[in-house]
């Protein structure tokens, strides 16, 4: 039996693995987030994001291709309508993996894989727009003198916000991941999620920015990790 290119198979053979990934993807699209092992989550991520890319195209050929993998027409319809519309402005990164510790019994490392359906943050929108503008200006920049390029870079650096206290009610990350005085809410800028003290993944999360309250994190565009209920422990 040939060895697959991306590590050991999840099932006993290639057909079993294809069915397993298709079922995991269908569950992910239906429930928007599922809990599974880290190995399965990492294998599912590129598989599911490829199907989302087909859904964003929205043509008949793409729909037939997805239906060839996922037989549940209701799930495929939701993928091509609700999910594709929610990620319309994203250029990738449609899923997010969060490790949640080991499973009791066999000690298997577990993770939550979820769809990233929240609107693109202002920071991400600026980065995307800058990337598009840079691609457009590339031919002209090749003809411009080096001195002019240095002036443009200097102006951009002056307009860029300072790295410290970039959000209201926030504090920059600390080297030891210890909460600064008065700032106990952890923020993760990659996922744009916040964690309050005592919540499920608080201790396992490395803060990229600290907030003085959940309200300040929400005002900065961060969403509660796991939903409002999971972060309600702050009030207890």
Q: What confidence category does residue 143 fall into, taking pLDDT thresholds of 50, 70 and 90? A: low
Structural domains counted in the chain? 3
Q: Which domain holds residue 88?
A: 14-115
* Predicted local confidence at residue 94, as pLDDT: 92
- Kindly give, in sequence order, each residue whose CB lies less than 8 Å from that of residue 77, ignoring residues fewer than 6 positions away: none
67/90: higher pLDDT: 67
CA distance 76 to 108: 31
CA atoms within 13 A on the CB side of 124: 16
* Predicted local confidence at residue 37, as pLDDT: 94
Do residues 45 and 138 share a domain?
no
* CA distances in angstroms from 175 to 164, 172, 179, listed in the order given: 14, 10, 10
Averaged pLDDT, 43-67? 94
Do residues 146 and 195 share a domain?
no
Q: Check: CB of residue 37 under 8 Å from CB of residue 111.
A: yes
Do residues 102 and 30 share a domain?
yes
Q: Which of 112, 220, 123, 90 lies closest to 165 in space, CA to CA?
A: 220
* Predicted local confidence at residue 46, as pLDDT: 93
221/64: higher pLDDT: 64
* Predicted local confidence at residue 107, as pLDDT: 93
Helix (H) or strand (E) holding 100: strand 95-102
110/141: higher pLDDT: 110
43/172: higher pLDDT: 43
pLDDT digits (tens, 9 = 90+) for 12-28: 788 898 999 999 999 99
Do residues 185 and 231 share a domain?
yes
* Predicted local confidence at residue 154, as pLDDT: 54
Q: What is the DSSP string of 156-204?
A: HHHHSPPSTT-STTEEE--TT-PPPTT--EEEETTTTEEE-TTSTTTTT
Q: Check: CB of residue 186 under 8 Å from CB of residue 214.
A: no
> Where among 159, 184, 217 does a domain terminate?
159
Task: With both helix axes pointing from N to C terminus, report the angle between 60-67 and 38-57 in degrees, rounded to the nearest 10.
Answer: 150
Do residues 82 and 108 share a domain?
yes
Q: What confidence category does residue 62 fall into, taking pLDDT thresholds of 50, 70 and 90? A: very high
CA distance 44 to 21: 6
Q: For residue 122, is pLDDT > 70?
A: no
Q: Decide if 1 is inside a domain.
A: no
Do residues 181 and 207 share a domain?
yes
* Predicted local confidence at residue 161, as pLDDT: 46
pLDDT digits (tens, 9 = 90+) for 176-231: 878 888 888 888 888 888 888 888 788 888 888 888 888 888 888 888 887 777 77
82: domain CATH number is: 3.90.1030.10
* Predicted local confidence at residue 166, as pLDDT: 72
Do residues 106 and 47 share a domain?
yes
Do residues 24 and 97 share a domain?
yes
pLDDT digits (tens, 9 = 90+) for 79-103: 999 999 999 888 888 999 999 999 9
Q: Decide if 165 is inside a domain.
A: no
Do residues 68 and 34 share a domain?
yes
pTM above 0.95, yes or no: no
pLDDT digits (tens, 9 = 90+) for 153-179: 555 545 544 445 678 888 888 878 788
* Predicted local confidence at residue 204, as pLDDT: 81
- Paired strand residues for 209: 172, 187
Q: What confidence category does residue 234 fall into, taking pLDDT thresholds of 50, 70 and 90? A: very low
* Predicted local confidence at residue 163, as pLDDT: 46
Do residues 107 and 141 share a domain?
no
């Amino acid at each position: 039996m040939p060895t697959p290119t991306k590590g050991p198979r999840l099932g006993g053979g290639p057909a079993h693995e294809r069915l397993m990934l298709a079922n995991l993807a269908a569950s992910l699209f239906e429930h928007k987030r599922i809990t599974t092992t880290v190995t399965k989550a990492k294998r599912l991520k590129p598989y599911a994001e490829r199907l989302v890319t087909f859904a964003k195209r929205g043509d008949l050929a793409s729909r037939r291709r997805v239906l060839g993998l996922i037989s549940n027409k209701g799930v495929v319809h939701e993928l091509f309508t609700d999910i594709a519309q929610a990620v319309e402005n994203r250029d990738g990164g449609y899923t997010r993996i969060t490790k949640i510790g080991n499973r009791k019994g066999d000690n298997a490392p577990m993770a939550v894989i979820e769809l990233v359906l929240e609107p693109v943050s202002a920071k991400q929108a600026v980065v995307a727009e800058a990337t598009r503008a840079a691609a457009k200006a590339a031919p002209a920049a090749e003809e411009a003198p080096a001195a002019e390029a240095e002036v443009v870079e200097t102006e951009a650096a002056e307009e860029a916000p300072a790295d410290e206290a970039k959000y209201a009610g926030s504090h920059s990350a600390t080297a030891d991941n210890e909460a600064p005085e008065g700032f106990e809410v952890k923020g993760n800028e990659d996922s744009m999620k916040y964690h309050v003290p005592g919540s499920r993944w608080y201790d396992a999360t490395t803060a990229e920015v600290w907030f003085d309250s959940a309200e300040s994190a929400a005002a900065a565009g961060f969403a509660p990790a796991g939903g409002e209920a999971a972060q309600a422990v702050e009030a207890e």
